[in-house]
Amino acid sequence: MRRFEVALPESLDECLRLLADRGPESKLLAGGTDLLPQMKNGVTTPKRVIDLTGVAQVHVLERDAKTGLRIGSAVPARQVELDARVRDDYAAIADGAALIGSVQVRNLASVGGNLCNAAPSADMAPPLLALEAQAVIAGPKGERRVPLSDFFTGVRTTVLGPDELLVEIVTPPPGPRSGGSYLRHTPRRELDIAVVGVASQVTLSNGVCAKARIALAAVAPTPIRATAAEASLEGKALTPELIDRAADLAVQSAKPISDQRGSADFRRHLVRVLTRRTLTTALARAGA
């Protein structure tokens, strides 16, 4: 790696002061599982790396019955994967966290880093999009909240300015009789990048689907919602036929490219299959 300075802030305020000063030539470091490979490959060459290890505010993982789940931006995926509160009520998030990298990567890789790196294939994005999470961002002018659906602006780009920091991700409680699931297709079991990823989240009421959210990874420049598919399910009983039809509609929302991981056609096929599977699992989990 090219040589760089390191800053070791002990508070969020100190971190923001550092960013206000030399934000554009700095990079924030949480788990380093995206940043260090990029630095080693010369893809990114910051003059200064700001280590978040000592900033307590970005390491919180809390659940509140009213406000929901708060995931600090530097919380490792493995912690989220194993947390009973996440697995119980926000299962799609635990599903996504469990799939990142390997165990050795997940003990470092942060949820926030996965979002800020903003790969189209980011595994944390579809579950958090399907659960309508919000990004809490701190900057020189204070704090702002951005719905995650507005957070991604293009391939590897987000709304974050060079003097801003993602502090945490807040996910509202999905409500009773809710269930979710995230699946992705990869050629290898571990240490791979999603060819396609799909998250489904449903809430039932009086035997019908009151709310459905479906989000897709790796089939557009950013992670996206499959809104037509969602609309086709709301207010109806989720039969296998309806789920199949929603899977077809999800394909229509996808704009995949062909690359070394798969052709556009293969990706469209995967969207159909994974939408059907995750909706079926989400429904089962909602009923349980």
56 binds other proteins (CB under 8 A): no
Binding string, residues 190-229; x marks residues near other proteins by CB under 8 A: xx--------------------------------------
Q: How far is the CB of 83 from other proteins (least distance, A)?
A: 14
CA distances from 240 to 245, 253, 268 (A): 9, 20, 19
Cβ density class 251-280: b for 16+ within 10 Å, e for less: bebbebeeeebbeeeebbebbbbbbbbbbb
Q: How far is the CB of 105 from other proteins (least distance, A)?
A: 5
* CA proximity to 216, closest of 275, 261, 170, 260: 275
Q: How far is the CB of 79 from other proteins (least distance, A)?
A: 9
Cα–Cα distance, 272 to 246 (Å, whole number)? 8
Phi-psi region for residue 126, left (φ > 0), alpha (ψ -120 to 50) or beta?
A: alpha
Q: How far is the CB of 268 from other proteins (least distance, A)?
A: 29
Judged by CB under 8 A, the stretch of 9-17, 49-57, 199-207, 280-288 that binds other proteins is 49-57
Nearer to other proteins, 29 or 167 (CB): 29
DSSP state of 69: E
The terminus-to-terminus CA distance of the chain in angstroms comes to 50
Q: What is the DSSP annotation of 131-147?
A: TT-EEEEEETTEEEEEE
Answer for which of 103, 141, 142, 206 binds other proteins (CB under 8 A) is: 103
Nearer to other proteins, 11 or 205 (CB): 11
Number of residues this chain uses to bind other proteins (CB under 8 A): 29
Q: How far is the CB of 7 from other proteins (least distance, A)?
A: 9
Nearer to other proteins, 77 or 247 (CB): 77
Sheet containing 48-51: give its strands across: 5-7, 48-51, 26-29
Nearer to other proteins, 107 or 280 (CB): 107
Q: Contact, 151 vs 183, CB < 8 A?
A: no
Q: How many DSSP H helices and E strands does the chain contain?
A: 11, 14
Nearer to other proteins, 105 or 218 (CB): 105
Nearer to other proteins, 74 or 224 (CB): 74
Binding string, residues 134-173; x marks residues near other proteins by CB under 8 A: ----------------------------------------
53 binds other proteins (CB under 8 A): yes
Q: How far is the CB of 167 from other proteins (least distance, A)?
A: 19
Task: Name 220's Cβ contacts closer than 8 Å, sequence gap at least 6.
Answer: 120, 254, 255, 256
Q: How many other CB atoms sit within 10 Å of the CB of residue 23?
A: 20
Q: Which residues bind other proteins (CB under 8 A)?
A: 1-6, 8, 29, 31-33, 36-37, 40-41, 49, 51, 53, 78, 101-105, 107-108, 189-191
